[in-house]
Amino acid sequence: MKRGWSWLERQRGAWAGTAIDLLFPPRCVLCHREEDGTPPAEAGPDVLPGNECPVPLCRGCVGELTAGGPRCLRCGQSGGAEPCRACRGQCRDWDGIVVLGGYGGLLRQAVLRAKHPRGEDVSAALASLLLLRHAEIIASWSPDVIVPVPMYWWRRVVRGTNAAEVIAGQLGRLAGLPVRRLLRRTRPTVMQNRLPFGERRANVRDVFGSRQRGVAGMRVLLVDDVVTTGGTLSGCRRALSTAGAAAVHVAVLARADHGGDDGEERADAPE
């Protein structure tokens, strides 16, 4: 009886969603044009067969967001899925990384929008697209838990949202994985975009702490919106590993490639 009721509740939600779509056709969250029925298989090469993950993005925006080609699964730099010349497969900041695209163009605009409360729908849409492109790779890592990169509590209050938490929440819902705030910032830091490139890793060194009780033995999928120097994610990985995490893989929306300092300077702006 309980199972039948659950099925009815799910169906009622699906019917309601269909009726709403007929009355108010869904629009792309980026360009606001009406969606044109982009099938999941066109979102990227790594989509699992039969995946029905909804992505409220039009064909044009999906094409632009995913136009950069494959990236190194070790460091996230452009140039191919195999270990690239930049890291030669020796990146030690994390155990593996998937990236939606390079920090530039439409993806940069979307990431900046996602940093504010009104952009949470953009964060969720980009997270869905990230999962569609890299579902098989993430599944091969066998994560036990998804962990967002934390903000210092005061900055979180001022900004009104944490894009990493929204992204992590969407990935968790779609992948059926728990999302936990297992990391904390132990002190405030100068915003990375206000520092010279060479000083950014030192700025976030030993800033993160982890709750050992919920981490020991876990395979963690660490989530953030942008990676530039890798210092923030490296610090998070160090805290999780110290607390006993078995592995720490990373999923981010955008990677600022080497030689793209102008983009990196603006990665966290405007406030």
What structural domains and CATH numbers belong to the chain? 65-265 (3.40.50.2020)
The pLDDT value recorded for residue 208 is 74
Q: What angle do CA 123, 54, 39 make, to 5 degrees?
A: 125
Cα atoms found within 13 Å of the Cα of residue 100, Cβ hemisphere only: 31
Is this prediction's pTM over 0.85? no
The pLDDT value recorded for residue 214 is 77
The pLDDT value recorded for residue 151 is 83
Q: Indicate the pairing of strand 97-102 with strand 247-255.
A: parallel
Q: Chunked in runs of 10, what are the mean pLDDT values of the chain (271 residues)?
A: 43 45 66 62 38 72 88 86 72 91 95 93 95 93 95 73 95 94 74 52 62 85 92 90 95 80 36 32
Pick the closest to residue 185 from 228, 148, 160, 221 (CA basis).
148
Q: How far apart are CA 178 and CA 23, in angstroms?
A: 34
Paired tokens of 164: 């990493």
The pLDDT value recorded for residue 50 is 37
The pLDDT value recorded for residue 27 is 80
